[in-house]
């Protein structure tokens, strides 16, 4: 946190800027279940977009299918947004959530 | 050398199904098939994000239109080039998502997934929609198994 205190006497406002914005920290890319996409398709998308091995892709696909959601990637915001966009481009239902456990 | 996947279907059987799908391809150029959106509530980013997704979806739809063109309607024969395979795969999903939320909206997920539908209980439109739903799933399975093993 950075604190900027003006040097202009009593008229200078005291301001503080929180350098840790809402977008910092660790983010989860989450894929949600949908009743349309084929298991083979979801597995293939995980392999293509996230570079997963077939085994990992199938584990996450089954998690989506059985639990309704799966955290498919965790990391910094910018890259999480890139993955989110790519998964959405493949028409999977995907969202970002802040990883609170890493805070 | 680029690979190709050629398939042939019975033109007379498939024609009404493809005609039915063609009816809403234009619509899919104007609205996203999924309720996806940007990760935040920044309006400018949201506009760009949705516009880019829609542009991407238009390419998917264009690939499907090209695949099931007038020549296909005559012969029932079509070819997927390797470089277009991703677009066709995505286009199939767009159409299936659209069918699921429109024509097939009243049908249970389990019934659709198992394929244990009683065709006699479907309306003509639902029958065409279901035919298309199965056709595009089969095409996806075929492309994935041959080109993305």
pTM passes above 0.90? no
The pLDDT, as a whole number, for residue A102 is 67
Chain segment A6-47, per-residue pLDDT in tens: 334 445 555 555 545 677 889 999 999 998 999 999 999 999
Among residues A27, A23, A73, the alpha carbon closest in space to that of B42 is found at A23
Closest B-chain CA to A98: B39
Does residue A70 lie in a domain region? yes
Does residue A11 lie in a domain region? no
Average pLDDT over residues B72-78: 94
Other Cβ atoms closer than 10 A to B44: 8
Does residue A81 lie in a domain region? yes
Could you say which of A88, A93, A96 has the minimum Cβ distance to residue B53? A88
Look at chain A and report how many structural domains it folds into: 1
Domain ranges of chain B: 4-147
CATH number reported for the structural domain that contains residue A47 in this entry: 3.30.1390.10
Does residue A98 lie in a domain region? yes
Average pLDDT, chain A: 85
Chain segment B77-135, per-residue pLDDT in tens: 999 999 999 999 999 999 999 999 999 999 988 888 887 888 888 999 999 999 999 99
Does residue A6 lie in a domain region? no
**Best mean pLDDT range from A55-59, B19-23, B69-73:** A55-59
Residue A4 pLDDT greater than 70, yes or no: no
Average pLDDT, chain B: 91
Put simply, the chain A residues between 50 and 79 with a CB less than 8 A from any chain B CB are none
Q: Which residues of A78-91 are buried (b: 16+ CB within 10 A; e: fewer)?
A: eebbebbbbbbbbb
Chain segment B44-55, per-residue pLDDT in tens: 888 899 999 999
The pLDDT, as a whole number, for residue B26 is 85
Among residues A7, A93, A83, A36, the alpha carbon closest in space to that of B104 is found at A36
Average pLDDT over residues A48-66: 97
The pLDDT, as a whole number, for residue A9 is 43
**Whether the complex's predicted ipTM surpasses the cut of 0.85:** yes
* A93 touches B: beta carbon within 8 Å: yes
Containing domain of residue A42, as a range? 23-102
Could you say which of B57, B86, B140 has the minimum Cβ distance to residue A38? B140
3-state class (DSSP) for residue B32: coil
Could you say which of A38, A84, A85 has the minimum Cβ distance to residue B141? A38
The pLDDT, as a whole number, for residue B149 is 66
């Amino acid at each position: 946190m950075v604190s900027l205190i003006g040097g202009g006497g009593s008229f200078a406002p005291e301001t503080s800027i929180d350098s840790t914005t809402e977008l910092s920290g660790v983010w989860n890319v989450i894929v949600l279940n949908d009743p349309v996409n084929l298991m083979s398709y979801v597995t293939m998308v995980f392999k293509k977009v996230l570079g997963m091995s077939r085994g990992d892709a199938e584990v996450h696909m089954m998690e989506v299918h059985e639990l309704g959601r799966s955290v498919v990637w965790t990391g910094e915001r910018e890259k999480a947004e890139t993955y989110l966009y790519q998964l959405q481009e493949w028409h999977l239902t995907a969202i970002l959530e802040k990883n609170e456990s890493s805070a | 050398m680029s690979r190709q996947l050629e398939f042939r279907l019975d033109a007379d059987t498939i024609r009404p199904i493809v005609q039915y799908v063609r009816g809403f391809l234009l619509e899919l150029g104007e609205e996203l098939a999924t309720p996806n959106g940007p990760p935040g509530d920044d309006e400018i980013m949201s506009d760009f994000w949705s516009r880019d997704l829609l542009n991407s979806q238009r390419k998917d739809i264009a690939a499907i239109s090209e695949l099931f063109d007038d020549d296909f309607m005559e012969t029932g024969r079509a070819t997927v080039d390797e470089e277009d395979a991703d677009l066709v795969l995505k286009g199939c999903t767009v159409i299936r998502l659209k069918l699921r939320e429109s024509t097939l909206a009243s049908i249970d997920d389990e019934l659709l997934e198992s394929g244990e539908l009683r065709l006699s209980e479907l309306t003509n439109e639902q029958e065409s929609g279901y035919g298309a739903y199965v056709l595009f799933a089969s095409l996806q399975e075929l492309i994935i198994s041959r080109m993305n093993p």
